[in-house]
Amino acid sequence: MSNANPSGTLTGSHYLDGDHACSEGAIAAGCRFASGYPITPSTEVVERLSARFPRVGGRFIQLEDELGASIALLGAVWGGAKACTVTSGPGFSLMMEHIGYAAITETPCVYINVQRAGPSTGLPTQPAQGDMMQARFGSHGDYRLIALCPNSPQECFDLTVEAFNLAEEFRVPVLVMLDEVVGHMTEKVVIPPAEQIKVSERRYTKKKPGEGFKLFEAANGSMVPEMVKAGDGYRIHVTGLTHDDRGYPAMNVPTHEKMQLRLQDKIVENADRIVRWEEKDLDGADVVVVSFGITSRVAERAIKAAREQGVKVGSFRLITAWPFPEKQIAELSKKVKAFVVPELNLGQMALEVERVVAGRTKVVPVPHVGGTVHNPETILNKILESVR
């Protein structure tokens, strides 16, 4: 790990919305290329990047659509840049092809999705958290990635830095999954001095061209291969086809199995290093509210009210949605009477909680179609019902 580049880091206290905080997080993390096709409610991210990049040696390009936007950043990464793209629902759907391509080519990159209510064009200016399963399974085939869910502008900054770091560490696409409320909400954001912001740099091979470097061979005892960049004189092949350690297409089961399992295992077996959550009052809790993004803040009001009524309720906030903190939830499921899962969709992460809980205790979803946030009382009633 090294430190952020002081020239790009806007150290100080700012009053920023979540979208703008994401832009500053990207810049502090060393991102110097972004491609995009503006779409509400994510437009402010690229607006700020396009204004800030020229002053820090970065480049923003607006593409003809989200298909272009979601592949241009991958080209930039192979050219040596840290890069991201930014979108919302309809654009996120179009980007799925290339998120799969980024996964199979192990391209470290960041996709920021400011979620609005869908499906399709849905409610362009209004919030939802309906892309959570799409984040996990949206592209075809099996792959793993990392998805982070900030619940404040400050965390938009912090987790965007983190997203770039995780992308480099695991050579994987990382999704930053805001919702419209967090994206458009304005709060104080403190950007630390550059030397206090830890940044993971790309891990390039030390082997010279011709010394047998393999682009997809697990390196340094980890499951993550090292990289090279275009123009450095290596003969490399990057393809969406199933490939061997060198990157060459190999249409057979053993190669496919080896590649697939490593793509899975580099995330699954490192889950302890990746998974992040925030817990409150879990000791002795009868009910645990599992939530993320803006819903975690709405739920806090319900949790407070429930505690005032004598219910022992704690909170487990997902910071990584993917990988899901399954160990932690499984452990809790042995102790508590119920999980209450409010989210701005008709039940997505609740399915994951149910899967992990595996019938050991009750799981109570609190679905909401989106367009606005929950009424805290709805969550409160579910908490109260769950212990009756």
Partner 1 sequence: MGPTEIKIGGLGGQGVILGGIIIGKAAALFDDKHSCLTQAFGPEARGSACSAQVVVDAEPILYPYVHNPHLMVAMSQDAFAKFSPELRKDGTLIIEEDLVKPTGLPSTVKVYAIPATRIAEELGKKMVLNIVMVGFFTAITGLVSEQAAREAVKDSVPPATIDLNMKAFDRGFAYGKQLLAGPKN
Which spans of this chain sit near partner 1 (rule: CB under 8 A)? Answer: 13-15, 17, 40, 124-125, 181, 184-188, 294, 297-298, 300-301, 373, 376
Host H or E run for residue 304: helix 293-308
Smaller CB distance to partner 1: residue 226 or 300?
Answer: 300
Q: In what order do the strands lie in the sheet with 287-291?
A: 277-280, 313-318, 287-291, 338-342, 362-366
Min dist. Cβ of residue 187 to partner 1 (A): 5
CA atoms of 174 and 193, how far apart (whole Å)? 24
Smaller CB distance to partner 1: residue 190 or 230?
Answer: 190
**Cα–Cα nearest to 200, from 233, 222, 216:** 222
Token reading at 189: 């954001």
Distances 203 to 98, 102, 226, 269 between C-alpha atoms, Å: 22, 17, 6, 20
Smaller CB distance to partner 1: residue 110 or 340?
Answer: 340
**Cα–Cα nearest to 109, from 194, 28, 19, 202:** 202
CA atoms of 309 and 303, how far apart (whole Å)? 10
Min dist. Cβ of residue 272 to partner 1 (A): 29
Longest dimension (CA), the chain: 70
Smaller CB distance to partner 1: residue 40 or 361?
Answer: 40
Smaller CB distance to partner 1: residue 113 or 315?
Answer: 315
Min dist. Cβ of residue 375 to partner 1 (A): 9
Smaller CB distance to partner 1: residue 268 or 305?
Answer: 305
Region label for 281, one of left (φ > 0), alpha (ψ between -120 and 50) or beta (otherwise):
left
Token reading at 190: 């403190």
Min dist. Cβ of residue 238 to partner 1 (A): 40
Strand 313-318 and strand 362-366: pairing?
A: unpaired
Min dist. Cβ of residue 250 to partner 1 (A): 50
Host H or E run for residue 186: strand 186-191
CA atoms of 116 and 121, how far apart (whole Å)? 9
Smaller CB distance to partner 1: residue 16 or 27?
Answer: 16
Min dist. Cβ of residue 29 to partner 1 (A): 24
Which string of b and e fits 296-328 if b means at least 16 CB within 10 Å?
Answer: bbbbbebbebbeeeebbbbbbbbbbbbbbbbeb
Min dist. Cβ of residue 234 to partner 1 (A): 48
Min dist. Cβ of residue 40 to partner 1 (A): 8
Min dist. Cβ of residue 374 to partner 1 (A): 11
CA atoms of 341 and 320, how far apart (whole Å)? 15
**Cα–Cα nearest to 22, from 1, 57, 60, 49:** 49
Smaller CB distance to partner 1: residue 264 or 378?
Answer: 378
Min dist. Cβ of residue 376 to partner 1 (A): 7
Token reading at 301: 């009001």
Smaller CB distance to partner 1: residue 185 or 215?
Answer: 185
Smaller CB distance to partner 1: residue 188 or 355?
Answer: 188
